[in-house]
Copies of this chain bind each other. A is one copy, B any other.
């Protein structure tokens, strides 16, 4: 597998007394450097500063973050361990407000940590690490399954467009949208990927282009504003992106610019697909209107290239996400298959079948 040519996105070193090692994605593509997070502050900082990013990878990082945060409590009494567990999960939850996988992973860790309180703190810590490893391994398997299901939607000779980074760097391995391309490529289909650079943080230029090149998949970088032109020239046959959160009705939150691509794809008669694990679905919210949009700092736009590129004091609007209405999504691709058409009923059915399989 070509992914072996680069270090893993996330790696646990040691046993219960261990440390989370991750690729510092802020340094890519110029440098592929790993950093170690020996305490929970370092994990929080890595998530906050986008050293690790992408909903599933954040979930895995947070799960290991709980282990890192609890390892000093291996000999603590039950009340102290409980308190430390709650403090740690609450702290990690404060790192990225829109990331549903973060909350999902933290709740799962908290359930395991609280479960069977008769066990010793050391046993509970071991259970937490086992759970984090399970989350990591499940994510890896999930990504491969998403790729297999999604690859069936692409024909040899197709060019596709993607936005941001829904790749192996955003997950345990392979990613969601990129897994579709990797699997199609491995199946021998001739696939070419147009990559939106994805302002302001350039995850497309820095990460997606890098991952595709590492994997040997032909890729062409464009500015976000060029997607419509590429579509108009007939250069792409599908758009595939990841997702940060999917409401019960299929409305999908993803990196700012995704909804724009969906509207443009519709106007040019090109199918628009979302690839995401079922953990991305948040059926507690009925529609995208209830998804809060994280606002980020002005400096990401005004000082984005190591150089100030806008006037001092300029007002900036910097929403990190947008919501693509379900009606613009041709299909949702999950680890259990393809949902199409996309609506509340088809999603509920898919999730209930997935639940039976699980």
Contact = CB atoms under 8 A, between A and B. Distances in A.
A260 B198 CA distance: 15
Nearest to A222: B317
A211 to B, nearest CB: 9
A210 B311 contact: yes
Interface residues of A, number: 57
A271 interface: no
Contacts of A227: 260
A228 B322 contact: yes
A50 B117 CA distance: 70
A231 B200 CA distance: 19
A341 to B, nearest CB: 20
Contacts of A305: 304-307, 309
A148 to B, nearest CB: 27
Interface string A216-256: 00111111111111101000000000000000000000001
Contacts of A358: none
A257 B308 CA distance: 22
Contacts of A18: none
Contacts of A260: 225, 227-229, 260, 264
Contact of A309 (B206, B213, B315): B206
Given A232-B322, A263-B267, A301-B205, A198 B225 contact: yes
A60 to B, nearest CB: 24
A226 B317 contact: yes
A259 B232 contact: yes
B29 A310 contact: yes
A199 B224 contact: yes
Contact of A267 (B221, B267, B322): B267
Interface in A289-339: 293, 298, 301-302, 304-319, 322
Interface of A: 29-30, 194, 196-200, 202, 205-206, 209-210, 213, 218-230, 232, 256-257, 259-260, 263-264, 266-267, 293, 298, 301-302, 304-319, 322
